[in-house]
């Protein structure tokens, strides 16, 4: 979902300190939430872009911009999500996410 590069990097980065969290994330988030049939992966990606903007979590936001592209979300649709955050989360939140998304596109 977030792409092989992300998964490889995550696995490579596992340490004694982070192992339990990685397991928690793998089991509950990937195993439970993303595997649920009620919404498509594409829709779940859209939701995450909006939520991570609202939550002000830029590092995860960038990972999920890459994930969204992998799940078939277009650059224009990412723009639409962020335009919607401009009204609901406020201008500074949207400006930050536009900047971070552009960094992902440029990379």
Tell me how far, at minimum, the Cβ of 29 lies from a second copy, in Å. Answer: 5
Tell me how far, at minimum, the Cβ of 63 lies from a second copy, in Å. Answer: 9
Question: Which residues 6+ apart lie within 8 Å of 49 measured at CB?
Answer: 61, 64, 65, 68, 73, 78, 81, 82, 97
Region class of 14: left (phi > 0), else alpha (psi between -120 and 50), else beta? beta
- Positions touching a second copy (CB under 8 A) are 15, 17-18, 20-21, 24-25, 28-29, 32-33, 36, 38-39, 43-44, 46-48, 50-57, 59-60, 75-77, 79-96, 98-99, 101-102, 105
């Amino acid at each position: 979902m977030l792409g092989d590069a992300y998964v490889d990097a995550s696995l490579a980065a596992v340490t004694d300190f982070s192992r339990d969290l990685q397991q928690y994330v793998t089991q509950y988030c990937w195993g439970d939430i993303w595997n649920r049939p009620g919404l498509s992966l594409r829709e779940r990606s859209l939701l995450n872009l909006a939520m991570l903007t609202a939550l002000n979590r830029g590092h995860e936001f960038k990972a999920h911009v890459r994930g969204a592209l992998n799940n078939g979300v277009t650059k224009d649709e990412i723009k639409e999500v962020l335009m919607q955050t401009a009204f609901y989360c406020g201008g500074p939140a949207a400006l930050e996410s536009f900047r971070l998304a552009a960094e992902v596109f440029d990379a």
